[in-house]
Amino acid sequence: MQTMTLLDKIKKRDASIGIIGLGYVGLPLVIQFVKAGFKTTGFDIDEDKIKHLNQGKTYIKHIPDKEVKILKTQSFKATTNFSLLKDVDCIIICVPTPLGKHNEPDLSFVLNTTNTVAKYFRKGQLIVLESTTYPGTTDVDMREILEATGLKAGQDFNLAFSPEREDPNNKDYSTSTIPKIVGGYTNNCLKNAIALYSTIVKNTVPVSSTRVAEAAKLLENIYRAVNIAMVNEMKILFDKMDIDIFEVIDAAKTKPFGFQAFYPGPGLGGHCIPIDPFYLTWKAREYDFHTRFIELAGEINTSMPYYVVEKIIGALNAKKKTLPSSKILVLGLAYKKDIDDTRESPSLKIIELLSERGASVDFNDPYIPKTKKMRKYDLRKNSVPLTEKNLKKYDCVVIATDHSCYNFELILKYSALVVDTRNAMKGLKNNGKLVKA
């Protein structure tokens, strides 16, 4: 009897799937593969996540319990036992790729995970990396670790890269409707990876190599970072010229060609845009190339929290108050509206800067009841209830995240001073208490 190939197993939905990392990228993938009828195992070192999933409960705001309850089936289990990797046919790695202290790539999560996979993987498996990284990570760094076992990529096992494109709480696009770029180490690796992702996404986009796939993800995010940096710089200039940058953008975007609207803010947040460009900047040094454009955009975007703090200081001074004697409430800890994700949020830097300068700072975020210890921050604060009484206690309220649930009219009414970094107060009458930043 002929042995069934991995490609046949995928097409028949007989292949088993293992997903390492059950965060904002891994969990949506788990849900899609279970929906598609695959036996799926989720791996994570976080025991709380494992407990939640095995109980059918969510831990990510924009992924509701009803979606996670789908996982309460015999075809899914979540575990911290990585030895079970030997029992799955396809392994998808979705672990963090942060920056180090000096903005250098930190591939420790990817490489440590690859070492774990190498410890348990077997002939015939497909290993796919989804974590954003510089070109060469998959076909050099990962491949060398996996091939140290004696198995050869493209012959004994399949190796591919398919960048995650998650956009938390995007109402228009989801995991299944966002086109999926896939690059394989060999043509056969690509064929198996395309077959796998075609079972859960509507459109797969094959490219010639893992390096092209890695580079494509970096280009997507660098494109956004550079354009956001441009409007951030113009925001500061137009503020000095007493011109509303948001009105300028609204006017410019009426042009039906040659212009795409990007919007300024208090800084960049999320796991991708503030981080990914520096992966390419670091890798470029290996080729004796200086990515001046990317680094300039990074400098501008990382300076925005400092600009916001200066605007707060100026607004307080105009009210005859100093920062060290002021109580400040920051609205929104998440990096963008209507989510509970604080990764690289500019709100964190703003709070840190205000506190260092002597202000008493609290925050409110309806989706984040208290802060958690992070790589760069350990604020140890609880969200303050947003009430009329509480608003009146503060010398300044800073809108850092424009959550849809906020009643901005009431916030302006009961606050002594509001510094708006998101144009959230657009259309409201300025009674001398509103400052745009």
Within 8 A by CB and 6+ apart from 265, the residues are: 228, 232, 304, 346, 421, 422
φ and ψ of 298, to 5 deg: -60, -40
Pairing of strands 180-184, 158-161: antiparallel
**Cβ atoms of residues 36 and 3 within 8 Å:** no
Distance CA 235, CA 320 (A): 26
What are the beta bridge partners of residue 11? none
Structure token digits, residue 204: 């797969």
- Known catalytic residue: 189? no
Question: Which residue out of 90, 94, 189, 272 is catalytically annotated?
Answer: 272
Report which secondary-structure segment, H or E, holds 218: helix 210-240
| Long-range CB pairs of 218-223, under 8 A, 24+ apart, other chains included | 218/132, 218/134, 218/135, 218/276, 218/277, 218/279, 218/280, 220/165, 221/132, 221/272, 221/273, 221/276, 221/277, 222/276, 222/277, 222/280, 222/294, 222/297
Closest to 362 (Cα-Cα) out of 389, 397, 403? 397
φ and ψ of 198, to 5 deg: -65, -15
Q: Which residues are catalytic?
A: 272
